[in-house]
């Protein structure tokens, strides 16, 4: 078990190091990182140019530059945002909080809809409710989220005028959350549904469930105690993949709904050549992913002892 934990922590570290390598490579892809700091029309005087060169240690060999960059990043010094001329942390934190709020609501929505529907669809297999649930999942996985977002705006804020189409509102404005959370939560709901369903069907077909049934254990006890508990493991694994889908989903949902979060900030940083902000966001996401995968692995090992030795 100890070897397993050490190994997993090492993996997480390697993932983060790999991530820094790629992000650094992206920043040097255009040859001179200073180019990323300007658009086609900006004018930089020689003094600033030289100062930036010194800031990035451009006279040193590339591996040394990487070393300096990692050192800066480890101390939390991402530099200043190009667009707003403020420290990157200051720019990111409020946005991060907004994204977490939206993400949490959407994730809760996805889980609360997806998992129960998956159970229901497995239990009522081949019946009407099963078709409805699977159609819901199919649509969620096939509809482009930006299109759903636009159509939701058309219907619910344009035609019906029920909900706001953009922005976050003051404080925790529920009305502003509805549309973005549904758009963002549909895909995870679909994933959870399909996975819960197939996993439930598998367990329902297993010997021990059949045995429990033949022994005369009540239906609801078989379902919740014997089946559901064991079927829950595979949707759990999905959570790491879910996070990846979330990053794309948030980027799109925040862009369409003008939500002041990280995803929209990332897009505007790309088009505004704000590389310090962008690299900080990417690194944050890499670390987040590594941590989530690590904790899921450990959680898994606690729940299912067989995994520790594979």
Partner 1 sequence: MKVSKTTAFDSADTSPLRGTAAGIASWPKKTFFIIRRWPVIPGMVLAALVICALFAPWLSPHDPYKNTLKDRLVPPFWNDGGQAKYLLGTDQIGRDILSRIIHGARVSAVVMSIAVSVGVTIGTILGMSAGYFGRHVDEAIMRIVDTWAALPFIMVALVVVLVLGQSYGVLVGLLALLSWPGAVRLVRAEVLSLRTRDYVSMAKVAGASTPRILFKHVLPSVWNVVLVTASLQMGGIILVEATLSFLGAGIPAPTPAWGAMTSDGKNYVNDAYWVAFFPGMAIFMVVMAGNFLGDWLRDRMDPTIRQIN
Stretch binding partner 1 (CB under 8 A), from 65-73, 214-222, 250-258, 301-309: 250-258
Decide if residue 44 touches partner 1 (CB under 8 A).
no
Q: Compute the CA torsion angle 105, 229, 192, 163 (nearest 10 deg).
A: -30
DSSP state of 167: S
Between 161 and 171, CB nearer to partner 1: 161
CB of 85 vs partner 1, minimal distance in Å: 21
Whether 38 and 274 have beta carbons less than 8 Å apart is answered as no
Decide if residue 153 touches partner 1 (CB under 8 A).
yes
Length of the chain: 310
Cα 70 to Cα 68: distance, rounded to the nearest angstrom: 6
Stretch binding partner 1 (CB under 8 A), from 53-61, 209-217, 264-272, 296-304: 264-272
Cα 93 to Cα 261: distance, rounded to the nearest angstrom: 9
Alpha helices in the chain (DSSP H): 2-27, 46-55, 62-74, 88-123, 128-142, 145-152, 174-204, 207-215, 219-221, 229-231, 233-256, 262-271, 275-303
Q: Judged by CB under 8 A, how many residues of this single chain contact partner 1?
A: 60
Decide if residue 231 touches partner 1 (CB under 8 A).
no
Cα 22 to Cα 114: distance, rounded to the nearest angstrom: 35
Q: How far is CA 248 from CA 21, 161, 243, 244, in A?
A: 21, 28, 9, 7
Out of 102, 252, 253, 280, the only residue in the binding site for partner 1 (CB under 8 A) is 252
Decide if residue 293 touches partner 1 (CB under 8 A).
yes
Out of 41, 271, 306, 309, the only residue in the binding site for partner 1 (CB under 8 A) is 271
DSSP state of 104: H
Decide if residue 26 touches partner 1 (CB under 8 A).
yes
CB of 10 vs partner 1, minimal distance in Å: 10
Between 47 and 159, CB nearer to partner 1: 159
Cα 194 to Cα 182: distance, rounded to the nearest angstrom: 18
Whether 121 and 198 have beta carbons less than 8 Å apart is answered as no
Cα 158 to Cα 166: distance, rounded to the nearest angstrom: 11
CB of 171 vs partner 1, minimal distance in Å: 28
Out of 99, 289, 297, 301, the only residue in the binding site for partner 1 (CB under 8 A) is 289
Between 113 and 195, CB nearer to partner 1: 195
Out of 206, 230, 255, 295, the only residue in the binding site for partner 1 (CB under 8 A) is 255
Write out the residues near partner 1 by the rule CB under 8 A.
11, 14-16, 18-19, 22-23, 26, 29-30, 36, 125-127, 131, 134, 138-139, 141-147, 150-151, 153-154, 158, 191, 194-195, 198-199, 202, 234, 238, 241, 244, 247-248, 251-252, 255-256, 266-267, 270-271, 273, 278, 281-282, 285-286, 289-290, 293
């Amino acid at each position: 078990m100890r070897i397993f934990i050490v190994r997993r922590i090492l993996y997480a570290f390697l993932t983060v190091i790999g991530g820094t390598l790629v992000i650094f490579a992206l920043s040097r892809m255009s040859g001179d990182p200073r180019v990323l700091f300007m658009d086609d029309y900006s004018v930089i005087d020689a003094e600033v140019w030289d100062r930036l060169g010194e800031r990035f240690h451009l006279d040193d060999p590339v591996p040394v530059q990487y070393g300096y960059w990692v050192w800066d990043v480890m101390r939390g010094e991402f530099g200043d945002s190009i667009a707003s001329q403020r420290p990157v942390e200051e720019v990111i934190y409020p946005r991060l909080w907004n994204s977490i709020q939206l993400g949490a609501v959407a994730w809760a929505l996805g889980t609360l809809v997806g998992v129960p529907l998956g159970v229901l669809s497995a239990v009522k297999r081949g019946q009407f409710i099963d078709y409805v649930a699977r159609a819901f999942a199919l649509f969620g996985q096939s509809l482009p989220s930006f299109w759903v977002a636009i159509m939701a705006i058309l219907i619910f804020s344009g035609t019906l005028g029920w909900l706001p189409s953009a922005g976050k509102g003051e404080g925790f404005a529920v009305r502003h959350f509805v549309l973005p959370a549904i758009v963002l939560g549909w895909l995870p709901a679909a994933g959870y549904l399909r996975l819960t369903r197939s996993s439930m069907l598998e367990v329902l077909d297993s010997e021990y469930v059949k045995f429990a049934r033949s022994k005369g254990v009540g239906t609801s006890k078989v379902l919740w105690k014997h089946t559901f508990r064991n079927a829950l493991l595979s949707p759990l694994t999905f959570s790491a993949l879910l996070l990846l889908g979330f990053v794309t989903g948030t980027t799109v949902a925040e862009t369409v709904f003008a939500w002041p979060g990280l995803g929209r900030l990332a897009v505007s940083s790309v088009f505004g050549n704000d590389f310090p902000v962008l690299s900080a966001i990417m690194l944050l996401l890499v670390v987040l992913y590594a941590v989530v995968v690590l904790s899921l692995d450990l959680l898994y090992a606690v729940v299912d002892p067989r995994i520790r030795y594979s």
